Every structure is written in structure tokens, then in C-alpha cells.
Chain A
Amino acid sequence: MTTEELKAIKENLLVDSRGTACPGPLLAVKQAIGELESGQIMQILSSDAGTKRDIPRWCNKQGHEYLGDFEEAGVHTLYLKKA
């Protein structure tokens, strides 16, 4: 997905993990996923650059669909769809 397409997505849940370092964002996402129904979308904000590599692999293992990410002013925004 392009950045424009990602920005047009209406998320069901925002997980703001800015200000935490590894493995903070991963733990935050894992904790929050339970609040979503299948097919709903999570938006993740992270200031940790490793997150955009970690979360796709986490999705891969858990079966969720990773939609993509973009970076603006040092903040990474990631999107995933719950399986």
C-alpha cells in the first residue's frame, strides 16, 4: 500500500507506543490486539525504528495481515488487520 492509501485507512484502534524502546512497542501491540475483532484495523505509532521490521514478522507468526507503514518526523506509523 502507498502512504496515501495507508493514510486513508480508518483505524479501529490506535496504539501509541511512542517513547518506549524495544520490546515496548511489540508488547503494547500484543496487549492491544485482544481489543480488536477479526477484520478490524490497528494503527501503531512508534518512535523505535526497529518496530517496522518487528511487527510484520509478528503478524506473520500470528496470522494477522500487515498493511504497511510510513515515517514522518521520526515517527513510524504502522497498520495491521486482525485475522
Chain B
Amino acid sequence: MDIEKQILELKAKVDKLEKGTKDQISIVVFSGELDKLLAALIIATGATAMDTEVKLFFTFWATAALRDKKKKANGKNFMSKMFGMMLPKGSTKVKLSKMNMGGMGTAMLKSLMKKKNVASLDEMLKTAGQLGVEINICEMSMDLMGFKPEEMIDYPNLNYCGVGSYLADADESKVQLFI
């Protein structure tokens, strides 16, 4: 094989590597519980301090936490209304995944967090927005649970998308997590 051909092949490989991954993290936020959402948000905001771009893909149970408790959506069918009632309405209503004990555990953790100056989930979401963390919400989850865009939180960088967008983001990211 001549040297020129080898160089060209090498160049193609380097080009592929360079455009392969960015300094970016993508997290699938699947769980709708306080502890897991907190973990996702702490990693996301921390990553911005490292100058890492952050893409959050909210799907399934996690989407309920992005509802605004003060907003309402009209024109829902029976099933959507039921889902809406049974799932936590927003980030202040989510419960612990363990030791919830009828809400007592969650209340205790929240008071501990306050005492130890750990930001609440609500505050973390605001900070994430200010720091440019991108939130993408799974359109199919919204549809399944009967959530509408008009009842979701005001967030500066919020989009609705499908698995294709997540995969494209994940493909470009150095770090991928599923929480």
C-alpha cells in the first residue's frame, strides 16, 4: 500500500474521531422520584461548571415532575384526567423511591435538605435553566400520560422530541446516563 493512501485513510479516521464526541453529557431521566431526579439535576448542573454541555431527555415517569402545579390544561379525556390526577403534579410533589413511609420519609428528607443547604428540586431546575441545561421531553410519554405542553413548567431551553433526538445527542456525548 502506498504512503499516500495510508495517509488518506488515517485522515478519514481522525476526522471521524473529531466529530464523533463532544464535551457533552446526555442523561435519560426516566424515574419520577425525588431522589433520582435530584441525582440527575445535580449531575447536570455540576457538568455545566465543567463546561460540559448537558442534554436531558425526560421520559416516562419523570415527565410528571416537569408539570407546573399552577397551570391547567383543558380538553383531556377520562384516561388522561386519571393519569393527571394519580401522578405527582410537579417537582414539589414527587416522593422518595425508598423510605417514603406514606410521605413521612419524603418530608423528613426535605427538611434535612433545607438544614444542610441542599437545593430543592424546584430550585435545581431553575438553576439548570439559567446554566443552559437543555431539557428534551419525550413526545410519546406526554401523549401516553395525556400531558399537554401548556401545563409544563416555564423553562428557557425546553423541547419536545422523540427517541431519534436522544440517540443523536447520545451519539455525540462522551458520557451517557440513564436515571
Contact = CB atoms under 8 A, between A and B. Distances in A.
A22 interface: yes
Contacts of B48: 27, 30
A44 interface: no
A27 B45 contact: yes
Interface in B139-179: none
A3 interface: no
B49 A58 contact: yes
Interface in B82-127: 116-119, 127
B1 interface: no
Contact of B118 (A21, A26, A29, A30): A21
Contacts of B117: 19-21, 24
A61 B50 CA distance: 7
B20 interface: no
Interface residues of A, number: 13
B49 A23 contact: yes
A62 to B, nearest CB: 7
Contact of A23 (B42, B51, B116): B42
Interface residues of B, number: 13
A22 B38 CA distance: 11
Nearest to B47: A23
Given A19-B117, A22-B46, A24-B117, A62 B51 contact: yes
A30 B47 CA distance: 11
Interface in A46-63: 58, 61-62
Contacts of A62: 50-51
Interface in A27-52: 27, 29-30
Contacts of A22: 42, 46, 118
A24 B127 CA distance: 10
Contacts of A58: 49-50
B22 to A, nearest CB: 14
A59 to B, nearest CB: 11
6 contacts: A19-B117, A22-B118, A23-B46, A26-B49, A27-B49, A30-B48
